[in-house]
Structure 1
Amino acid sequence: MKTPEKRAFKARLFGEFARIGKALSSPHRLQLIEVLSQGERTVEQLAEDVGAPVANVSQHLQVLKTAMLVSVRREGLYAHYSLADPGVFRVWQALRDLGQARLSEVDAVVSEYFGDRSKMDAVDAGELRRRLGDVIVLDVRPRLEYEAGHIRGARSVPFDELADRLRELPPNVEIVAYCRGPYCVFADEAVAALRAKGYRALRLSEGYPDWRQRGFPSESGAEPG
């Protein structure tokens, strides 16, 4: 192959790869990917979750769809979106972790919102797996996300229900609360609320998609009545 042909080949090839980067270059689309990593959503559900107009969310989804990062399933009048492949979450996970490692601004933003998180003990997924059965695992995400997939044996207690359901939690067993990911506020808020009531509580430093990505025990469906 001649040099000009090689260059043209590389330009076209890397141009295709760059489509992924372009699709990921919006903070709004990254947020949609994080939400979709929890499970399938309609445009309307996504718009409510991220607090954006349906029209804007739809436009962002079309960009992700053109880059083959999301799939769509139509049912009646509704379009249900999901991540096209587990690799999409892995790319977001790698981008998230690289940003945490390389960008001091990430720590600054997190500290500004959460304060000193070192005061709130955390366990990682590996440690929690070893302790399954010895702790109560609370899924504090919305119930829809729990039903789409959760840590095996976890209890569904959405954060907005926690205050009314404390009597369901034995006071002498350690509790680990988890959420969507390392920057989801529900787990931090749940741990703070539990500790204020005298419970021994920790947060999972990762989220359910990270747990699932590692092949740790998961299941789906509603919590047994």
Structure 2
Amino acid sequence: MEDMLKCAKLFKEDLYKQLARIGKCLSSDKRLEILNVLSQSPRTVEKLAACTDMNIANVSRHLQVLLDAKLVKFTKKGTYAIYSLADPEIIDFLSSLWKISEKQIPDIGKMKDDFLNNLNDIHTLSMDEVKKKLDENSIILVDLRPKEEFETGHIQGAISMPMEDLDILMGELPEEAEVVAYCRGPFCVYSALATQKLQVEGFKAYRMEDGLNEWQEHFH
């Protein structure tokens, strides 16, 4: 019995050491940002660097840590390595992490509220409200993410209008259009900024706080 208890203790110690590999991997804000970007679509190192405002060397180092923890994988396309999440369940894990963090760390909610309070009359619609309006064909749903993310996957019925091209593309919208804007999810502020811009230009506009991943989870 003593030997069995000793084996069980060693097993437990080794198990928690392995689980801690994930925890240590997530201790970097930049690695969390990389995972969030990859939850939208696969990326090369160069494109990850552009998305996260890091240099290629730093991105490569963070990717190596994520690879060691089996959170990302890569495939070769010519001379390029294309990185993606190692498993779709990591999206669910990240979603749970965002929710727990916002619930348990009051500063996160305060930061979001302070940002939105600096914008004038920004109205937010829930996913259910947006779905209802889509079904009624009474809105234009605008996806503000980069084109490649939209092409990887988007909410059915949405049109691509990347944030960097908003000033040009909004001119193609019907003047009487009712517009709802969404981006990468709860921690992406582009939907609020785009909504304010659309309102200034005379559109009846709303933001949807959630993104594609939240939409797919909600309407699964």
Superposition pairs for residues 188-199 of structure 1, below 5 Å? 188-199=192-203
Aligned partner of 1:172 among 176, 182, 193: 176
Q: Secondary structure at the match of 1:120?
A: coil
Q: Residue by residue, what CA displacement relative to the aligned partner does 1:134-180 show, whole Å, maximum 9, x if unpaired? A: 21100111111111111111111112222222332123232110001
Shift of 1:126: 2.7
> Match for 1:189: what amino acid?
L
- Opposite residue 74 of structure 1, the aligned amino acid is K
Amino acid at match of 1:93: S
| Residues 111 and 117, structure 1, Cα contact 8 Å, conserved in 2 | no
When normalised by structure 1's length, the TM-score is 0.89
Structure 1 unaligned segments of length 5 or more: list them: 217-225
- 1:159 and 2:156 aligned: no
The runs of 5 or more residues in structure 2 that have no matched partner are none
Correspondences of 1:40-189 after superposition (within 5 Å): 40-115=42-117, 119-132=121-134, 133-189=137-193
How many Å separate the matches in 1 of 2:158 and 2:33? 25
Identity, % of aligned positions:
38
8 Å contact from structure 2 (residues 120, 196) kept in 1: no
> What value does the CA root-mean-square deviation take over the aligned residues?
1.8
Scaled by the length of structure 2, what TM-score is found? 0.91
TM superposition shift of 1:112: 4.4
Q: Distance in 2 between matches of 1:160 and 1:118?
A: 21
CA distance in 1, matches of 2:7, 2:168: 68
Q: Which segment drifts farther, 38-47 or 185-194? A: 185-194
Runs of 4+ in 1 over 3 A off after TM superposition: 111-119, 213-216
Q: Structure 1 residue aligned with 2:209, among 194, 205, 218?
A: 205
1:6 pairs with 2:41: no
Q: Which has the higher contact order (CA 8 A, sep 6+)?
A: 1
- Equivalent residues, number: 216
Alpha-carbon distance between aligned partners in 2 of 1:118 and 1:14, rounded to the nearest angstrom: 48
- SS class of match (1:170): coil
